[in-house]
Structure 1
Amino acid sequence: MEPESTDNSIYVVNGMHPCYKSHNTSYIFASNPSIICLLLCIFLGSLSVVTICGNLLVIISVIYFKQLHIPTNYLILSLAVADLLVGLLVFPFSMAFTVTSCWYYEGLLCKVRGSFDVTLSTASILNLCCISIDRYYAVCQPLSYKRRINDCVIGVMIFVSWGVSALIGIGIIIAGFNQGKCEESCLIDALISTTLACIFSFYIPVIIMLCIYLKIFLVAQRQARSIQSTKYGATVSKMEKKATKTLAVVMGVFILCWTPYFLCIIFQPVTRDQTPVAVVETLNWLTLSNSMLNPFIYAFFYSWFRSAFKLIISGKIFQGDYTNSKLL
């Protein structure tokens, strides 16, 4: 089935899409893709596979090893589930759009892709918000931490995060935001129409998290000076600071990956020139890569996650009961 030449002319001519070829005065999807097109498909497919495998390691680790059954790790588990769903659901749709320019079933593709994008990105950032709250009580109010942050509270946090995210994602479809067609650059129109959603699902939560982590940093500095005299206090302080530092890095990487995308969205309506689809697609893939990076951050900072990953990858957990293993 060949596309109409007008469907993708703007995208292809302006962006010189590697998966299209010139045919008379129009551009059509190449039946025999070029090497660059094949490499693009392989690269994007590899990102999806790495994202799925990396987050599966995190999910299996937290569920299987009892040592990792702590409130903070349950929030990390929820974040990993969001990242896993990005690899399973968002990557294929985004890859289809990147390769075919929203050619097949553009209406449904754009709606579903937009809904998944918004739902899972909102879920990620709300989970990060919950993690920052967990870290606030762990560092700023350590004596009441176990009483305030228990499994029930964590469960409510996770439920609210996913519930709000789903409502926002479904709301975008119900409100008819993602109604653009390919010849109208459906992705660009969707980005412009969701500016208000971006403010509530990205900018406000990020500002809240930055304020919380600034407060944590100031309190941690003050606590470090006051408890250095005791060995136990110093050990606890070191552990909490390391956990806070790691999760702050996770949030920092999230902001670095997502900020360019959301800045593009927020400033698009006030600019006269339309942002090239190739630029928006590049920024979109930068945001998606964040879901791939989080497991590597955990492995780099946490020795027990590295130990858990090794046991899973080597297949030892299938050869015996390692649930109570001491992860170093």
Structure 2
Amino acid sequence: MMDGLKGAKLCYPELHNSSCRGLRRTRSEAVLLYMLLSSITVLTVALNLLVIISISHFRQLYTPTNLLLLSLATSDLLVGLLVMPVETVRFVESCWLLGDLMCALSYIIGFTLISASVGNMVLISIDRYVAICYPLQYPNKITRSRAEVCVCLCWACSLLYNGLILKDHLSQSDRHSSCDGECLVVINYIPGAIDLVLTFISPCSVIVTLYIRVFVVAVAQARALQSHITAVSGGSVRIIAKKSEKKAARTLGVVILVFLMAFCPYYYPSLAGQDTSNSASWWPIVSMLLYFNSCLNPLIYAFFYRWFRKAIKFIVTLKILEQDSSQANIL
């Protein structure tokens, strides 16, 4: 793939006849990119670690909803720890320097974690739908044991599914590579179309449908509350109701917009009826955007909770180290 680059250097000079050639970035450009991408990686790890510590430490947060948030944060933390550093090297360096095995594992791990993250987002949308639309039945319908089973199934299905999609790549990691120093992955149209439906269209449809339903019910509840208030306090309640509607609409918009922005570019080849390959010039940007979603998830799904902001104060001020801090009231 890189042999025809004019002025490029050999990836492996000792393998002159079989080595790829790649254009090297200038030192200043490489340092700048490493600093930028490493900062995003550290931020991803830090934010998701805060969510994990908060939910794991404080007993008040041992709820089915927070168990789903914990699973989402775990998948996103692993993206920051295992995937983003490798993708950073892939993005900055023109040659693949980590060997065939790491080439295969990097994509299987990355896709598995992304699938688990999407599955957790679907579970969270279902949880919020039941909580808002069926509040009286919620404690019976959504229990911690059921949430644990759903989380385990989500992770198991993600691992099995991506293992099947990429099993040929794992057994013959260099079958698409034309020279040493190249990590090439090609997902053919049919598996790509299946992946498009299972990992993008179906989850996106569920998330959008359920959150729109939650928004409609939340607005209806706010207006019903407004209509039952006396004329004396009607003005202030009307303002509160409007703020509630705007907040619900803003949350809905952010969730859907971020999901589409992160996943649409990656699935464009499948939407266009093409094979998906990491050899395309736009692939590094698309993949980093896909993984950057793991940095945004804790901000979308946890940061706007009051308990999360209080938990951060406990952690930053080291009050979390005090005796019986796990019993603290942070709700």
TM-score bucket of the superposed structures, by smaller chain:
0.7 to 0.9
Cα distance, 1:134 vs. partner?
0.6
Cα distance, 1:168 vs. partner?
1.2
Match of 2:201 in 1: 203
1:60-139 map, 5 Å? 60-139=53-132
**Aligned mates of 2:253, 2:65 — CA distance in 1:** 13
Give ranges in structure 1 of 5+ residues lacking alignment: 1-6, 20-25
**Paired residue for 2:266, among 258, 261, 278?**
261
TM-score (norm 2): 0.79
Further displaced range: 131-140 or 314-323 = 314-323
**Aligned mates of 1:322, 1:244 — CA distance in 2:** 35
Change (3 A) 1:13 1:53: farther
Further displaced range: 209-218 or 177-186 = 177-186
Please tell me whether residue 319 in structure 1 is matched to residue 322 in structure 2: yes
**Paired residue for 2:212, among 202, 211, 214?**
214
Cα distance, 1:161 vs. partner?
0.8
**Aligned mates of 1:78, 1:240 — CA distance in 2:** 29
Match of 1:180 in 2: 176
After superposition, the C-alpha distances for 1:71-119 in whole angstroms (9 at most, x for unaligned) are 2111111100010010111112212322334522553233112211221
Q: Which amino acid aligns with 1:8?
A: M
3-state secondary structure, aligned to 1:227:
helix
Q: Which amino acid aligns with 1:254?
A: F
**Aligned mates of 2:61, 2:120 — CA distance in 1:** 18
Match of 1:289 in 2: 292
Match of 1:304 in 2: 307
3-state secondary structure, aligned to 2:219:
helix
More helix by share: 1
Q: How many matched pairs?
A: 309
Q: Which amino acid aligns with 2:295?
A: M
After superposition, the C-alpha distances for 1:128-168 in whole angstroms (9 at most, x for unaligned) are 11111111111111110111001011111111111110111
Give ranges in structure 2 of 5+ residues lacking alignment: 12-19, 231-236
Residues 186 and 278, structure 2, Cα contact 8 Å, conserved in 1: no
After superposition, the C-alpha distances for 1:260-318 in whole angstroms (9 at most, x for unaligned) are 222244326179xx997331111111111111122233565222211111211222211
Please tell me whether residue 8 in structure 1 is matched to residue 2 in structure 2: yes
Paired-residue identity, %:
36
**Aligned mates of 1:98, 1:182 — CA distance in 2:** 20
3-state secondary structure, aligned to 1:130:
helix
Residues 180 and 190, structure 1, Cα contact 8 Å, conserved in 2: no
After superposition, the C-alpha distances for 1:172-200 in whole angstroms (9 at most, x for unaligned) are 23244864326597546247675122321
